[in-house]
A = this chain, B = another copy of it.
Amino acid sequence: MSVKTLADLQTPALLLDRTRLQANIDRMAARAAELGVALRPHLKTPKSVSVARLMQRAGATGFNVSTLKEAEYFHAAGIEDLFYCVPFAPLKAARAAALVADGCNLTLMTDSLDGARAAVAAAEALPDAPPLSFALEIDVDGYRSGTPAGSPDILQAAGLLHDSAATRFAGIMSYAGASYGKTPAEAADLTEAHRQQLAATRALLLEAGLPCSMVSFGSTPAVLHARKLDGISEARCGIYAFQDLFQAGIGACRIEDIAVSVLCSVLSRQPQYNRLVIDAGGLALSKDRSTAGKPFDACYGLVCDADSGEPIDDLVVTTVSQEIGLVSSRSGAPLALERFAVGGLVRVLPNHADMTAAAYESYAVVDGSAAIADIWSRTNRWDP
């Protein structure tokens, strides 16, 4: 049976609203143009060639990936300027070298002097491999990884990567993880502080006779709220194309901008508990609870009309087991159970789009109605 409408899908299924997606892509492309910075979209959210093509049409020439498997998938589709912006595990050197040898313009990353030493050693151990390019991560906010700005390790790590014939030093990057959960003004201040740290680091590198063509900076809120990004060679953002309830909660988008949702069947109505049972649980929605404890807490997801994608009252998925979700109203108000039939469909908007989408191998593409416009592939996992 060919899939033509939502009713032809087996639930749970991942839906992607093309109109919302395109608007999100255009909005961020316009924002980057306004800042005068190149936008390097992160493909860890969509993990899809079809989405990357829309981003290319909006002006993107390079992309970020979060796994080597993504790099392999996008390279196979002819998308070649890829920044694998997670600290590099030396045991992945042969796979990375195979991509470069095959023509992929791949930049890798390490976040420490130790890491640079391990990267050089791994690259030098490969027979007949092309040089591997590495950026160095600068820790601007203590959020995750990176060498602290101002550390003498930076020049030493960059020097090692520059001097080895097996590696190249591409430049520096940072991730503004601390920009999440900030007000726009706070995020703008933080971004400016990060920008200055990166500019100072670049100046030190150039002064030491080292190259530093890449100055890569990111996070969706940082780029949305930045006052200027002078001296930044590229802005990295990922979640903006799909958005989610967390992003809506912190003001980075509206609920009606969220492009990805999970289509579910109603399995049961439980008047005695004032709730519905749906066939999307922890595996179909993820156990992400990034909205927990916030004023915009949506439990495991916001329940919407299947066809229109509009929220239904204040219904949320309150509880999940592996394959089942329980739906109640957030306020505790009585649920109009007669509006739902066993076997009927609803959509659920996710807390965190990346985590939810990872459970699916494809998107059913919709356009504000029950019609399925297309099926787009995704790549998941880490195996070669």
Contact = CB atoms under 8 A, between A and B. Distances in A.
Interface of A: 7, 10-13, 44, 66-68, 86-92, 95, 110-112, 114-115, 117-118, 122, 142, 144-145, 148, 177, 265, 267-270, 272-273, 277, 279, 282-284, 286-289, 319, 321-324, 326, 341-343, 354-355, 358-362, 381-384
Contacts of A13: 382-383
Contacts of A115: 267-268, 342
A67 B117 CA distance: 47
B89 A265 contact: yes
Given A118-B341, A283-B354, A362-B383, 13 more contacts: A11-B382, A86-B279, A89-B343, A114-B268, A114-B269, A115-B268, A115-B342, A144-B319, A145-B277, A286-B286, A287-B287, A287-B355, A359-B381
A90 B343 contact: yes
A77 to B, nearest CB: 21
Contacts of A44: 322-323
When all copies of this chain in the complex are counted, the total is 2
Contacts of A279: 86-87, 89
A267 B89 contact: yes
A91 to B, nearest CB: 6
Nearest to A8: B91
B288 A89 contact: no
Contacts of A91: 7, 10-11, 265, 343
B358 A269 contact: no
A300 B72 CA distance: 29
Contacts of A118: 341-343
Contacts of A144: 277, 319, 321, 324, 326
A358 B283 contact: yes
30 contacts: A10-B382, A12-B382, A13-B382, A44-B323, A86-B267, A86-B279, A87-B268, A87-B279, A89-B265, A89-B279, A91-B265, A91-B343, A111-B268, A114-B268, A114-B269, A115-B268, A115-B342, A117-B342, A142-B273, A144-B324, A144-B326, A145-B277, A145-B324, A282-B355, A283-B355, A287-B287, A287-B288, A358-B359, A360-B381, A362-B383
A321 B360 CA distance: 19
Instruction: Give the 4 A-B residue pairs with the shortest CB-CB distance, closest first.
Output: A89-B265, A90-B343, A87-B267, A118-B342
Kindly name the residue among A118, A342, A384 whose own CB sees the greatest number of chain B CB atoms within 10 A.
Answer: A342
A82 to B, nearest CB: 15
Contacts of A383: 10, 13, 361-362
Contacts of A12: 382
A69 to B, nearest CB: 9
A157 to B, nearest CB: 11
A10 B360 contact: no
Contacts of A272: 148
Given A89-B279, A361-B383, A268 B148 contact: no
Contacts of A273: 142
A10 B68 CA distance: 10
Contacts of A67: 323
A360 B381 CA distance: 7
A122 B265 CA distance: 14
Contacts of A148: 272
A118 B279 CA distance: 15
